[in-house]
Chain A
Amino acid sequence: MSKLPGLARVGEVLANRKLPALVMKVNWGRQMVISIPFLWLAIFFFIPFVVVLKISFSEAAIAIPPFSDLFEWDPDGAYATFKLNLGNFLFLLEDTFYLDAYLSSVKIAAIATALTLIVGFPMAYLIARAEPNRRLFLLALVILPFWTSFLLRVYAWMALLKRGGPINDILIAFGFIDEPIRMLQTDFAVYIGIVYTYLPFMILPLYSVIEKLDGSLLEAAEDLGCRPIQSFFLVTVPMVMPGIIAGCLLVFIPAVGEYVIPSLLGGSDTLMIGRVLWDEFSINRDWPMASAVAIVMLVVLVLPIMFVRNRIGNKGEV
């Protein structure tokens, strides 16, 4: 009987929300598994953006590191001056060069993504509709180039597109052109480079959706009098839409900030924002300006993409 008050007390404690904190030992293993990657990302992913934001408000200076400090301590007085330089951002707005670079990156990436879809779709369709034991082989054929060096794949096109290169030779031999045309260092070469290097990113998500496609729906459409073209656009395309969106995002996102492809295959007039940022940083050594370009790029390009991606992600796809 004397145990009853004790039990009542336990019940009272159990009803109390603070119980886990009181009774459970701190679970060190669990804490570590969560906090180690968390701290790593906080230090090496999140804080860097705070630093970029800070430096985008400073001024370029001939010093090591080449920018001014926001805070300046007066050596004999006890006050500090806080200087916020908006000049970089104002300059971004003033000089149409940067706006052009943003727009042209989006344009180039969008066209290249559409081209990748056009090239990738038939390939993904063929692989998904192939006999199961051939599928693995065809998929390996698509993935193999992806495992080799990205830089070398871009480089391969430099040799092919050159003025004296094989493609020009073939076009001349067949009489399409009379003398070599300039293909390297044009936007055309940039499109080829992007389509070529990011094709696997398009094919894989398309393949996984087409593979699950129910063939009987297409048969039904045909039985109901749909012509193949109609059933393709009215039945197939809507059903593989998640794959199309996923593939397009996977190509568009890296393409928009691309540096290597425009600098190796593009001409001096191929404006892409990744290249502008790089040049601002390494050639002009204007780190604050490069930071301002990065901040605007983040706000204007990356955050919308992340938003779209999350919206789609929440619907259970991608």
Chain B
Amino acid sequence: MKYTNNELISMYKTMVLGRIYDDVLWEENQKGRLYSMFHFSTGQEAIGTAAAHALRENEPFMPSHRCRPLHLHRLDIYKYLAEQVGIKDGYNMGISGDPHLTLLDKGFIPNPGVLGQGCPIATGFAFALKYMKTGKAMVQLMGDGTYNQGAVYEAMNWAVVQKLPIVYVVENNAFAMTTTQDVYVGTEALSDRAKGLGMDSITVNGNDILAMREIMDIALDRARISSTPTMIEAVTYRRQGHFAGDTADYRDKSFHEQMLLKHPDPILNYEKVLIQRNILTQDEMDIIKVETRKMITGACDMVYEKMQNPANKPSIQDIIKPEFTYASPMEGLI
């Protein structure tokens, strides 16, 4: 076995953390207690988890908007949640929220609001890693909808030409917002497009954490050692609507049922493996889930309590500071 038991358990915990965080946040939304616009990573946790664990601690990444495990793996839950619901204790004082989380010191390259536009930015970042001889590699994650933006191909083409240390992961979850792939995919596999640019690419089961982790390790090592870019198509399925609250009425029922069967829950998949290999028992996994939930609900309670005091929410006076928009003092921001 390639990975130690500790590492295998750690990956399980990251997946569970991602899942339960989204579950709890949705419950909080329903209760009307903590509200935040967010996108579920549910059912796609293996991908973000594989990236989180394959990257070295000081290596950067640009997440997709469904990367909860990857986000949480490096961050403090309380400060993250505080950012998501917009109070001052958040990482960026509630200014960025989780979609535009800008935390370069923790390796988060902000994911642009216009998805797909992140690809050339991430690729420029990879150029800098090589230019500055850091020896680091990086990952950019995007969805199959994002993958149709022209900027993606401008960037991936250049990554091949310049031999940049970057791994592009496309989470193929069968939806781009409300549309299905009959609207936006003409090739057999999404990975075929990267081959057309001269980039090595592969399609893997994105719901199999061990397969994902192994391919991510290989791709990142290639990037670190020989500065070669790779594209990984991680096939998965979006179990929820596009955003929290999207009831997905546009989704065909029989298609949905078929896809759920075709792409079984990555956490349940992994639990079977862990039991089979005598790494964790069902009871132990249940305890992990209970403890994870307790930790997250605890953070929710803390954040909720903080929110009750209006002084903890940023006001226009807090954020209109010139130093938040410009490096040097600037007159006339208002």
**A, B: real partners:** no
